[in-house]
Amino acid sequence: MKALQITKYGDFKDSLQFNEVDKPEISENEILIAVKAVSLNPIDYKIVEGNLKEMLKLDFPATVGYDVSGEVVEIGSAVKNFKIGDAVFGRVPQEYMGTLAEFVAVDSAVMAHKPEEISFEKASSLPLVGLTAIQALEKAGLKKDDRVLIHAGSGGVGSFAIQYAKAKGAIVYTTTSKTNMDWVKALGADRVIDYKNEDYKEVSNNLDIVFDTLGDDYTFEAFDIIEKGGSVTSIVGPPDPETAKQMGMEDYQMPEILSELIKEKSANYTLTWMQPNAEQLKEIKTMVEDRTIRPVIDLIYSFQDAVKAFEYLADGHAQGKVIVNLAETFENNK
């Protein structure tokens, strides 16, 4: 089968190439998926560029990709929750990285049935961003009437988080560029902040939760605009002690400035290191089928143009998700 593999760290055109690899064999708890679509996420291009090489050790060549949607073509002897022909979606664990291939094997426990009446492309756009947003906002204790600021509302995680927080009854603020303001508002944001022409710290204050998707100074500035006892939930900031252990950072010490800010505001601070979760995928499926959540896709690339998809995403201007479509190698699906 054909797979897109990273052969070395660096530039996408030099580091990524299509190779013929063996079709995976499955164990008793695994399913084999004929891949229809894969969505790309920042972690994918950061791996190729070598930005995560200290954390994620790879043996080259290594197939890339985590998000996937497709059709079950083989099941292990112990698998009870799927049958051959089922349409599924999910975010595979690290040890199964490699969804940009014609087939992928994965533990059935981390997958879910695809939402009905949406395409494989749309289904593939949901797992990583949906699981990340849900886990981050759950850690922050999101509840009805909370005032929440979600940074970068036009991004993959941000666009899902706006819809999810609104569905939970929150009052949602978000930052984006002027060109994206109308469609971000259409996702459900109550107050859209043009970050180039407005100071988000003046517009949004006394918040219950800040969802930090940007890191750097934004992580620390979040404590200026939350109420005492509020929450800062990050996906890019320094780890909290519990998440550091989860990431294998046993001797980790939280930055002193962050510890002081947490103490000063009696705040809850967490970093989310997203984990695959089938039950949360089922929640996403239900919300999509109820039209509470809608997938947000920017561009769809063919499999042979996957390297161009990496280049486009890394430019940082995507409005929603970037998808690689592998379905042309199979029968057409709506």
Per-residue pLDDT of the chain (334 residues; tens, 9 = 90+): 999 999 999 999 999 999 999 999 999 999 999 999 999 999 999 999 999 988 888 999 999 999 999 999 999 999 999 999 999 999 999 999 999 999 999 999 999 999 999 999 999 999 999 999 999 999 999 999 999 999 999 999 999 999 999 999 999 999 999 999 999 999 999 999 999 999 999 999 999 999 999 999 999 999 999 999 999 999 999 999 999 998 888 889 999 999 999 999 999 999 999 999 999 999 999 999 999 999 999 999 999 999 999 999 999 888 889 999 998 754 433 3
Sign of the Cα pseudo-torsion (294, 297, 302, 308, in order): negative
Q: What SS3 class is residue 321?
A: strand
Q: pTM of the predicted model, to two decimals? A: 0.95
Beta strands in 48-115 (DSSP E): 62-63, 67-75, 87-91, 103-107, 112-113
Q: How many Å apart are CA 273 and CA 263, to the nearest integer?
A: 23
Residues 178-183: contacts with CB under 8 Å, at least 24 apart = 180/153, 180/154, 180/319, 183/154, 183/319
2-126+295-329 is classed in which CATH architecture? Alpha-Beta Complex (3.90)
Label residue 36 exposed, middle or buried (CB < 10 Å: 0-12, 13-18, 19+). Answer: buried
Helix (H, G, I), strand (E, B) or coil at 191: strand
The three-state secondary structure class of 98 is coil
- Encode burial over 142-170: b for 16+ CB neighbours within 10 A, e otherwise: beeebbbbbbbbbbbbbbbbbbbbbebeb
Tell me, what amino acid is at 28?
E
Q: What is the pLDDT of residue 329?
A: 56
Phi and psi torsions of 51, nearest 5°: -70, -15
The CATH number of the domain covering residues in 129-271? 3.40.50.720
* Ranges assigned E (strand) in the chain: 2-6, 16-20, 30-40, 62-63, 67-75, 87-91, 103-107, 112-113, 147-150, 171-176, 191-194, 207-212, 226-234, 268-271, 297-302, 321-325
So what's the pLDDT on residue 331? 43
**For residues 302 and 304, what is the distance between their CA atoms, to the nearest angstrom?**
5
**Burial of 256: CB neighbours in 10 Å, binned 0-12, 13-18, 19+:** exposed
| Structural domain spans, the chain | 2-126+295-329, 129-271
